[in-house]
Amino acid sequence: MQKTTDYITEEKRKELLTELADLKGPKRQEILASLEYAKSLGDLSENAEYHQTREEQGKLEERITKIEQVLQSSETVSHKKGDIVEIGSSVVVKKEDAREEKTYHIVGSEEADMLQGKISNRSPFGEALLGKKKGESVSFKTPNGATNYKIISVS
């Protein structure tokens, strides 16, 4: 897999398609109705409701464009069971000199969320893990210097 390609999981693709359908359908209609109401209030130059609704419309259209771009430019990956770390893998690692193990899920940059243990394949840690197997050690640079982890398991 190339580093320059964007990846999303099948779950994320479904989530984005659902959001896109909602934004293009009910949300867009809701904003259009709000615009019509705001226009009916009179002078548009001093109509705060109109300007606020136009701003919301801009944000909605921007989000629609972003989702369409992500869906068009991203490759959907589905994890195949194996012992090599790839996008979609769950990896249990243990930091050198630490007792506790942590589980991370390797995802595309669009899905990264450290609070949920999802790390991007483009992050230094994600890049260090890709292509490695259970039992191997990985090292990557952080602002505090090099950090070393051992891969406990891959699923």
Domain ranges, ordered by start, for the chain: 6-77, 90-154
Where does the pLDDT of residue 144 fall: very low under 50, low under 70, confident under 90, or very high at 90 and above?
A: confident
Structure token pair of residue 92? 């249990």
* pLDDT tens-place string over residues 19-49: 999 999 999 999 999 999 988 888 888 888 8
Highest mean pLDDT among 56-65, 99-108, 140-149: 56-65
Mean pLDDT, all residues of the chain: 90
- Is 134 strand, coil or helix? coil
Contact 89, 31 (CB under 8 A): no
User: What integer is the mean pLDDT of 59-63?
Assistant: 97
**What pLDDT is attached to residue 1?**
43
Determine the CATH number of domain 6-77: 1.10.287.180
* Helix axes of 48-73 and 28-40: crossing angle, nearest 10 degrees: 160
Determine the CATH number of domain 90-154: 3.10.50.30
Contact 149, 135 (CB under 8 A): no
Structure token pair of residue 43? 């002078």
